[in-house]
Amino acid sequence: DALGHTVGDTLLKAVAGRLQSCVGETDTLARMGGDEFVILQSSATQPLEATSLATRIVEALSAPFVVQEHQMVVGASIGIALSPHDGTEPEQLLKNADIALSRAKSEGRGTCRFFEKGMDVRMQARPGWTKSACLLSGHAWPPLFRHPVGGGMQSSCPRGSVPGGHR
């Protein structure tokens, strides 16, 4: 925002490009609004593929961006929900990925978290927590990643592992 909407829009497009380079041919990348993106990933080798994708995303976004002669560092916090363990409906998976994202953000920048049962209870107990859901159609709903990106944040998710990954 400090550099204007044009720079912000250009940065978001560059972030989307790097994210697109991380996902597989059968994955779906969507911008949810603001600086949040969702990735739908289908793979028979979950949660390994989700862990691998999260690591690739953090690494890809850790390199500085240059937009209109401004160098910017972007970071990612990542929330992951897996189907069918964390839900079978799009709304539930998105909600659970959002809850995992909130946990990741609360634990520090560049953190990746899988949804865990009980996270939703802790989140609902927090003041100001509201439910958010979005219906997405036309896809199978295995792993769902949700992550915001923002200027000035450093990513630090360890190579080859996702903190909090329990599967």
- The residues that are catalytic are 35
Report how far residue 83's alpha carbon sits from residue 8's, in angstroms, rounded to the nearest whole number.
33
Bridge partners of 62?
Answer: none
> CA neighbours within 13 Å on the CB side: how many for 105?
14
Q: Residue 113: which of 126, 127, 98 has the closest Cα?
A: 98
